[in-house]
Amino acid sequence: MELLIKNGFVFDPTNGVKGEKMDIAVSDGKIVEKVNERKAKKIDASGMIVMPGGVDIHCHIAGSEVNTGRLLRPEDHFKDFERKTSTTRSGVGYSIPSTFTTGYRYARMGYTTIMNPSMPPLEAKHTHEELSDTPMVDKASYPLLGDWWFVLEYLKDGKIEECARYIAWIMSSTKGYAIKIVNPGGLEAWGFGHNVSSIDDQVPCFCITPREIIRGLCKVNKLLNLPHTIHVHTNNLGKPGNYQTALETMKCVEDLYDGNKPAIHITHCQFSAFKGDDWASLQSGAEEIANYVNTHSHVTLDMGQVIFTDTTTMTADGPFQYTLYELSGNKWVNHDVETETSAGIVPFRYRRKRYVHAVQWSIGLELALLIKDPWKIFMTTDHPNGGPFTSYPKIIAWFMSKKAREAALKRINPRARSRSLLPTIDRELNFYDIAVVTRAGQAKALGLINKGHLGVGADADIAIYNVNPEKTDPSRKYKLVRRAFKRAAYTVKDGKIVVKDGEVLKHVEGATMWLDVQSLEPAKITDDVKRRFREYWTVEYENYPVTEDYLEVSNPIPIKACV
Amino acid sequence: MIKLTPAKEFQFPINAECINPDVLSGKTREEIEKLKIWEGNKPKKIGELFKVEENRTENPLEKEAAITIHGNVSKARRIGADMKNGEIVILGDVGMHLGEEMKGGKITVHGNVDSWAGSMMKNGTIEIHGNAGNYLGAPYRGCSEGMHGGKIIVNGNVGTEAGAHMKKGIIKIYGSAGQFVGFRMCDGTIYIQKDAEPRAGACMTSGKIVIGGFLESVLPSFTIDSIKGKVKIEENEVAEGPFYLFLGDRVEHGDGKLYVFKTKNPHLSHYEKYL
């Protein structure tokens, strides 16, 4: 099918298009030079913004922990539900919506690619079952490898190349996309009821430090030529004073930067940018982190913005989630995933009148605004940890309008307001920057060649928003911008119009992307490895991998490794 | 005043949140008859399920009411949900979720009510002259947003988990109560004139439960504090003692107050040696 999007103001940062009026031609799900104007279906986008489909680098939408969250929180469902329509399926949930609703809500906001950032390899099958049931978007998942026993053992012995071969094997067998590291070493320690408190602490039983894990996996990432960098959730997350740990984590891979591709991605950085000795003296460490990132190119970040609402926190960071339970006294789940990782879930309400929550809200925005290069910091809420992804339009409004930020500042805790850096920041992002932080930058960081831009040959994932950049001043009319980004005028997925005026027209399946890493020499699966699976895992080696036919729509990305 | 009479004996659940003074006031009989109401999975109009009349009455029970319902509506759910003003009088039994999240006004029932009456209510009054089901004033399963204010008075007995997660307000039960009365309550007052089944006040962190009848046992996570002569229930209402005062639930580091009538509970006298 051919499609022609006419007269829109196109924002395509990857190709340097800054709001020029032009037509976008689509044929067979790809963007092409031109189409037969008479035959093609036309969309009149005059007075509207045309952007590539949104890309979300970090949002927990599938897997056993999300599902456990759904079970834990019936109260999240009964107030937010969507009825079945002739095209869509019914669904429930606000902070942890059911899979179908997740897909529809993303598509309504013009998002077409999303990344599920934590998949314990043992739970890969469950994760892929849920991802297959998430329609409208292309998706991928990052396996949690920072505390995987084989990784710890190989890195302890300094066998980087062998470790790389095993990771190549695990990446293909769990159908994963990037190396996710959560609280390196801390999760292994959590199995014994402990945690690590700095990146130079010893991990019990393994004689290795978090620094060695991060550096080792960063080297592995390079040896395997993986498209994304290592995706790191830092040690000490959610503890006052942890901005120093975040800085040390970034510094520890400084020398591994080769000059063109970043070496590390620090995820939901807001939770790692706390300054102060305890909760009472908590302050923002955003300035220090921003200063570092502004002078170094080997690092990318995402925000993990906090939204004042009732949400569900879920991470693989078991010890952090336990701390959160102790703080909130809420119901909780904690889980040690055998030899691989841990996990925890606690419902949480961020209140604007609470000092700590208000400071957190401020830190996220300070980070995004103080880091000068939008290609280095991306918009996320770490859904659902900071708030549901449906709040993205709010964040866009705060980015684009100082007035919007001032309106929000007026309502937060007065002590947090007086300490916030936001009143001193005049920077307002324009639509071009928004296109970077919500799609182009994220696609670039992820190494997605066909996503996040509108050049010829790219996937025809397009979002059209009904706001006129020539007539609308977003800094004054931020409510209009918020409304426009909440309900895309059109969302095009693989060349098909799937959303019009914020309503889903068509239910389409998205593909699951995964890396088919071809190492020069395959990992040696010795009898010893099989024996360990038999002894330490609840799943036998033969049943461990996820086969390709398990995925509803499979999109393997072949990668040639150097080992 | 609007008088509603069920046109038939209902077989399926009715979702009757439109029976609410805020919705019906100012509408004529014809307009009311056209309002949408769900019977099972079918959308219907009020006029198909109820006989609607506008009348004035001198009956003192229903004189002030904006809406009166005559007859058995035990299949009708969510009557008076979210209501802010006015009064509903029901002469007959009524179904689940009566006055859910009610913010003001009054509901009087001359009959029995089913579970979740006054669930998550914020303000207003519910008066029940018969018995009430389980989860009186309590939120749905999993939710911790209990009663935030208002008053519930039950002249009969109530089922289990009355006043669970209560945060403010008062529940007065002039009959007896089932298990787990005041489960996880944070504040507010629950008064039970007669007996209560065990596990009263489980996981409570604050607030007050007064049991004027027999209580088989007090949870081991409660400690005895003292014996009180009388307890204030609300303005102008005092329960005469003596009462044992227990503090708990220590499992949740709580210091809620559980008063148990001494005279009717001689089996609890062994606690006195810890005083």
Question: Measured between beta carbons, which residues in chain A are less than 8 angstroms from residue B143?
Answer: 74-75, 78
Could you tell me if residue B101 is inside a domain?
no
- CB within 8 Å: B140 and A72: no
Chain A environment of B252 (Cβ under 8 Å): 329
Question: How does strand B223-234 pair with strand A462-465?
Answer: unpaired
For residue A512, what are the contacts with CB-CB under 8 A and spacing of at least 6?
Answer: A128, A131, A132, A138, A139, A140, A141, A175, A551, A552, A553, A554, A555
At which residue do the structure tokens 């529809």 appear?
A104
Distance from CA of A390 to the nearest CA of B (A): 22
The highest-level CATH class for domain A54-446 is alpha beta
- Pick the residue from chain B with its C-alpha nearest to A326: B252
Helices A160-174 and A149-156, packing angle to 10 deg: 160
User: How close does chain A come to B144, measured CA to CA in Å?
Assistant: 8
Beta bridge partners of A52: A462
Total domains in chain B come to 2
**CA dihedral angle for residue A547, residue A548, residue A549, residue A555, rounded to 10 degrees:** 160
Contacts of A75 in chain B (CB under 8 A): 139-145
One domain for residues B128 and B249: yes
Round to whole Å and give the CA distance between A311 and A346: 9
For chain A, list residues whose CB is within 8 angstroms of any CB belonging to chain B: 72-75, 78, 329-330
Among all residues of chain A, which has the CA nearest to that of B254? A329
Contacts of B142 in chain A (CB under 8 A): 72-75
**Does B143 sit within 8 Å of A74, measured CB to CB?**
yes
Domain finish residue from B95, B129, B151: B95
Stretch A395-419: mean pLDDT: 95
Looking at the fold, whether B45 and B134 belong to one and the same domain comes out as no
CA-nearest residue to B205 within chain A is: A329
Cβ atoms of B205 and B257 closer than 8 Å: no
Do A438 and A452 touch, CB atoms closer than 8 A? no
Question: So what's the pLDDT on residue A525?
Answer: 81
Dig out the tokens for B172 from the structure: 């007065």
d(CA B247, CA B275): 13
Q: Both B87 and B126 in a single domain?
A: no
d(CA A35, CA A39): 8
Q: Which one of B142, B145, B252 has the shortest CB-CB distance to A73?
A: B142
Residues B84 and B176 in one domain: no
SS3 A302: strand
Counted across chains A and B, CB pairs separated by less than 8 A come out at 17
Residue B106 belongs to some domain of the structure? no
Residue of A nearest to B144 (CA): A75
Nearest chain B Cα distance for residue A191, angstroms: 25
Which residue positions in chain B have pLDDT lower than 50?
A: none
Going by pLDDT thresholds of 50, 70 and 90, the confidence category of residue A183 is very high
Contacts of B140 in chain A (CB under 8 A): 74-75, 78
Instruction: Please determine, for residue A259, whether its predicted confidence score (pLDDT) is greater than 90.
Output: no
Of A74, A329, A330, the CB nearest to B141: A74
Looking up tokens 């949690």 gives A144
Is residue B206 located within the same domain as residue B137? yes
CA–CA distance, A344 with A353 (Å, rounded to integer)? 26
Residues of A in contact with B144 (CB under 8 A): 75, 330
> Is residue A335 scored above 90 in pLDDT?
no
Per-residue model confidence (pLDDT) at position B24: 87
The model's pLDDT over B36-62, given as tens digits with 9 standing for 90+, comes to 999 999 999 999 999 998 877 667 666
pLDDT of residue A61: 94
The answer to whether residues B120 and B66 belong to one domain is no
The reply to whether B107 falls in a domain is: no
What's the pLDDT score for residue A351?
A: 95
- Name the residue in chain A with its Cα closest to that of B143: A75
Q: Which of A356, A358, A350 is nearest to A280 (CA)?
A: A356
Query: How far B142 CA sits from the closest chain A CA (Å)?
Result: 6
Give how far B141 is from chain A: nearest CA, Å.
7
Range of the domain at B142: 115-275
Q: Hey, which bits of A120-221 come out as E strands?
A: 138-143, 180-182
pLDDT at B139: 93
DSSP string, A524-549: ---HHHHHHHHHH-SS-GGGSSPPGG
Asked whether residue B269 falls in the same domain as residue B189, the answer is: yes
Nearest CA in chain A to B145: A75
Counting Cα atoms < 13 Å in the Cβ hemisphere of A336 gives 13
Confidence of residue A332 (pLDDT cuts 50, 70, 90): very high
Shortest CA distance from B252: residue in chain A: A329
- Surface of B (235-254) touching A: CB under 8 A: 252
Q: Chain A contact for B56, CB < 8 A?
A: no
- Rounded to a whole number of angstroms, the distance from the CA of B180 to the nearest CA of chain A is 18
Partner residue opposite B143 with nearest CB, options A75, A329, A330? A75
Cα–Cα distance for residue pair A484/A464, rounded to 1 Å: 9
Residue with tokens 């995004």: A368
- Dist. CA A506–CA A499, nearest whole Å: 7
A330: nearest CA partner in chain B: B144
Residue B105 lies inside a defined structural domain of this protein:
no
B residues 190..229 contacting A (CB < 8 A)? none
Closest Cα of chain B to A236: distance in Å?
Answer: 27
Query: What residues in B contact A329, CB-CB < 8 Å?
Result: 252
Nearest to B140 among A72, A78, A329 (CB): A78
Distance CA A412, CA A416 (A): 7
Higher model confidence: residue A507 or residue B64? A507
Q: How far is B249 from chain A (nearest CA, A)?
A: 14
Q: What b-and-e string marks burial along B230-269, b requiring 16 or more CB atoms within 10 Å of the CB?
A: ebebeeeeebebebbbbbbbeebebebbbbbbbeebeebe
Average pLDDT over residues A456-470: 94
pLDDT tens-digit readout, A6-50: 999 999 999 999 999 999 999 999 999 989 888 999 999 999 999
Q: Which residues contact A467 (CB under 8 A, 6 or more apart)?
A: A48, A49, A474, A480, A481, A484, A485
Query: B75 and B157 share a domain?
Result: no
Q: Please name the residue of chain A whose CA is at the shortest distance from the CA of residue B253.
A: A329
pLDDT at res. B61: 65
What are the boundaries of each domain within chain A? 2-52+451-504, 54-446
Mean pLDDT of chain A: 93
Radius of gyration of chain A (CA): 22
Would you tell me the crossing angle of helices A478-486 and A392-400 to the nearest 10 degrees?
150
Rounded to a whole number, what is the distance in Å from the CA of A75 to chain B's nearest CA?
5
For residues B68 and B108, what is the distance between their CA atoms, to the nearest angstrom?
A: 9
- What pLDDT, on a 0 to 100 scale, did the predictor assign at position A176? 95
Same domain assignment for residues B151 and B275: yes
**A338 falls in which pLDDT band (50, 70, 90)?**
confident
Chain A residues within an 8 Å CB radius of B145: 75
B144, B184, B203, B253: best mutation site toward chain A, by most A Cβ within 10 Å?
Answer: B144
Q: Of B43, B63, B95, which residue is a domain's last?
A: B95
Contacts of B141 in chain A (CB under 8 A): 74-75
For residue A563, the model assigns a pLDDT of 85
A74–B144: do the CB atoms touch at under 8 Å?
Answer: no
Interface-testing mutation among B41, B77, B78, B140, with chain A (most A C-beta atoms within 10 A) = B140
Query: Do B78 and B144 reside in the same domain of the chain?
Result: no
Looking at the DSSP bridge assignments, the partners of residue A56 are A114
Q: Measure CB to CB from residue A74 to each of B142, B145, B252 and give the nearest one.
A: B142
Chain B residue closest to A332 (CA)?
B142
Q: How far is B143 from chain A (nearest CA, A)?
A: 5
> Within a domain: residue B23?
yes
Which homologous superfamily is A2-52+451-504 in? Urease, subunit C, domain 1 (2.30.40.10)
pLDDT tens-digit map of A341-354: 899 999 999 999 99
A71 - beta bridge partners? none
What pLDDT is recorded for position A523?
81
Phi/psi-derived region of residue B31, left when phi > 0, alpha when psi is between -120 and 50, beta in every other case: alpha
pLDDT tens, position by position, A115-155: 999 899 999 999 999 999 999 999 999 999 999 988 999 99
Indicate if B172 and B49 belong to the same structural domain. Answer: no
- On whether both B190 and B152 belong to a single domain, the answer is yes
CA dihedral of residues A429, A431, A436, A440 (deg, nearest 10): 170
Q: Which of A195, A213, A212 is nearest to A204 (CA)?
A: A195
Which residues on B lie below 8 Å from A78 (Cβ)?
Answer: 140, 143
Number of CB atoms found within 10 A of residue A503's CB: 12
Minimal CA separation from A74 to chain B, in Å: 6
CA distance A159 to B204: 55
Best residue of B100, B143, B204 to probe chain A, by most A CBs closer than 10 Å: B143
Q: What is the phi/psi pair of residue A431, to 5°? A: -60, -30
Q: Assess contact for A150 and A213: CB atoms under 8 A.
A: no
Q: Which residues 133-172 in chain B show a CB within 8 A of chain A?
A: 139-145
- The answer to whether the bond into B249 is cis (omega within 30° of 0) is yes
Residue B140 and residue A73: Cβ atoms within 8 Å? no
